[in-house]
Amino acid sequence: MSTPRPASPGEHSLDACWGYLRPHLISVAYSMLGSMSEAEDAVQEAWFRLHRSHTGAINDLRAWLTTVVGRISLDMLRARKARPEDAVGSWLPEPLLTEPSANGPEDQSVLADSVGLALLVVLESLTPAERLAFVLHDIFAMPFDEIGRIVDRTPEAARQLASRARRRVRSAPQPDADLTVQRRVVDAFLAAAREGNFAALLDVLDPGVVLRFDLGPDNPEFLPTLIGAEAVARHIMRTAPRFISLAHPVWVNGSAGALFGTRDDPLSVLSFTVAGGRIAELGMVSDPAKLRHLAVEL
C-alpha cells in the first residue's frame, strides 16, 4: 500500500516536502542514469529549479519534481551518449549495496524503487527516450501523456517507446525471484572459487554465461567480455587465488552479490544474475569512481 504524500508545497513547508520526496527522486534519477553521483546531481538541480519556480502554482509536487528530474536525467543521458567512450571494457552501473542480516534480504532495500544491475545493463542499450518512457511508466507508473510532454512526443508515441524498451528487457535473462535460491547459487560459486574447483564452477554457470568488466577509464588493463561457462570458469580459476579471500556476500541492488574488500576500501563489486538456478550474467565493477559512494550510508 502506498504511503500518502504531500500534494503541494502549500500543505507543508517546502523543506519538509523535499525531505519526504527526495528518496523517490533519487530512485528515478538512478534508474535513468545508473549512477548515484549523477543521480545526486540531477536531484540537486531539480531542487534549484524548484526554488526558482512559483511553487504556489504547483498542484502536485511529487509529479512536478518527477517530471523535472526526468527531463534533467534525459539531458544527462543524451550528453553521455554523445561522448566518445573512454572507459576500459564494458559500462556497468554504480552498484548499491546492503549487508546480509538475520532479517533477510527483503528488509535490506537501499532504495525502495531501485532496479537491479541486470536491468540497468539492458536499459543502457536503449535510446534515452526509450529508457525514460520505460522507467517512468513501467517502474514509476507515470501516465504516457506526461511522458510524451517530456520527450516532445504524443502519448501514443511515448507508449511505443516504452513498448520497444519492454521487448528488449524481456529478451534479457530474468532473475530468479526467490532470493534464497540466488544466495545459494552465489555462495556455491564463491565456495568453488575458494576451493579451485573447476567442475563445481561449471555446475553453477549457465552454458551461455556472460562476464562483463568495468575497470574505469584510468585502468591500463583491458579485459574483454567473456562468454561461455568454460571461458568464465577459467578466468575465475586464474584470478581467484589473488582475490577470493577478500570476498564476502552482500546484496547488490537487491540481488545476491559479492564485495571484494570493505565498504571503506572497496576493490570491486561482483553482481550476479541467477536465472533458472544458474548464473546467467556476472558484472565486475572495479572503477574506483563507481565505488566511492559505498562508504556513505544511503
Structural class in CATH, domain 120-173: mainly alpha
Burial (CB count within 10 angstroms: exposed 0-12, middle 13-18, buried 19+), residue 127: middle
Percent of the chain with pLDDT over 90: 71
Confidence band for 86, pLDDT divided at 50, 70 and 90: low
Under the banding of pLDDT at 50, 70 and 90, the label for residue 2 is very low
- 171 has pLDDT over 70: yes
What CATH topology corresponds to 179-295? Nuclear Transport Factor 2; Chain: A, (3.10.450)
> What pLDDT, on a 0 to 100 scale, did the predictor assign at position 115?
77
- Which pLDDT belongs to residue 6? 47
Q: Is the pLDDT of residue 88 over 80?
A: no
Residue 135 in this model has a pLDDT that exceeds 70: yes
The least confident of 155-159, 275-279, 293-297 is 293-297
Closest CA to 129 of 97, 83, 163: 163
pLDDT for residue 3: 41
Backbone phi, psi, residue 206, to 5°: -65, 145
Range from 48-57, 104-113, 210-219, 232-241 that averages highest in pLDDT = 232-241
Of 88-102, 159-173, 212-226, minimum mean pLDDT range: 88-102
Residues of the chain with CATH 1.10.1740.10: 1-84
- Average pLDDT over the chain, rounded to an integer: 88
Q: What's the pLDDT at 119?
A: 92
**Where does CATH 3.10.450.50 sit in the chain?**
179-295
CATH 2.40.50.140 fits 1-84, yes or no: no
pLDDT reading at 183 higher than 60: yes
10 Å Cβ neighbour count for 85? 10
Q: Where in the chain is the domain with CATH 1.10.10.10?
A: 120-173
pLDDT exceeds 70 at position 149: yes
Cell digits of residue 274: 541467477
Strands 255-261 and 205-216: unpaired
Give tens-digit pLDDT for 94-128: 999 987 764 444 444 334 445 788 899 999 999 99
- Shortest CA distance to 8 belongs to which of 50, 57, 49, 47? 57
